[in-house]
């Protein structure tokens, strides 16, 4: 019996799957068909899971200088350790920055729109995060009033990590 290497590409994946099968008795075709149905099921599950958009709250602004950027990073990490764990429904916090333009953005992902609403109306925002942010107002051009706050929705379009 001779081994045959078959490559099956599936539209829901950026990864090419390789199958080694024996060439006797039409086994290669049945392996390809079985793999195809598994991939179709997996693809359907990924599409279904992505049906509801993710909810985010973002804050962005221009920073005065590199020292201010460093102070903001330190303050963000402090808040992530001490304040954010008190907020139900927070899934992750990301920070992006552009040193060339001195732009700073923090994005908080919530598990649902209800979790985001509860955060915005809750005591942690008013009694802990806002006072914490006031301590860093000197870091931003225009102080805290120079910040831009937005509620956002996101939908995952491509995830190359699904098969890693």
- The answer to whether residue 163 scores a pLDDT higher than 70 is no
For 21, the token pair is: 């099968």
* Residue 29 exposure: Cα atoms within 13 Å on the Cβ side: 3
Other residues' Cβ atoms within 10 Å of the Cβ of residue 116: 22
Global pTM value: 0.65
Residue 84 CA, chain-centre distance (Å), reads 17
> Is the pLDDT higher at 161 or at 69?
69
If you average pLDDT over every residue of the chain, what do you get?
A: 78
Other residues' Cβ atoms within 10 Å of the Cβ of residue 50: 13
> Is the pLDDT higher at 51 or at 2?
51
> Is the pLDDT higher at 32 or at 162?
162
Mode of pairing for the β-strands spanning 90-98 and 148-154: unpaired
- The answer to whether residue 98 scores a pLDDT higher than 70 is yes
Helical segments of the chain, H only? 27-49, 66-82, 113-121, 123, 130-134
């Amino acid at each position: 019996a001779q081994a045959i290497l078959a490559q099956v590409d599936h539209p829901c994946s950026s990864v090419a799957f390789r199958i080694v099968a024996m060439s006797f008795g039409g086994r290669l075709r049945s392996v390809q068909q079985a793999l195809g149905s598994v991939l179709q099921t997996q693809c359907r599950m990924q599409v279904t899971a992505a049906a509801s958009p993710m909810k985010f709250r973002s804050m962005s602004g221009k920073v005065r200088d590199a020292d201010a950027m460093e102070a903001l990073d330190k303050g963000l990490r402090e808040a992530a350790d001490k304040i954010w764990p008190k907020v139900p429904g927070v899934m992750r916090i990301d920070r992006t920055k552009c040193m060339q333009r001195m732009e700073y953005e923090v994005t908080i992902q919530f598990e649902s729109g209800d979790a985001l609403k509860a955060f915005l109306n809750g005591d942690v925002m008013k009694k802990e995060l806002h006072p914490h942010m006031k301590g860093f107002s000197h870091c931003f051009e225009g102080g805290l009033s120079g910040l831009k706050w937005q509620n956002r929705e996101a939908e995952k379009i491509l995830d190359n990590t699904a098969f890693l």
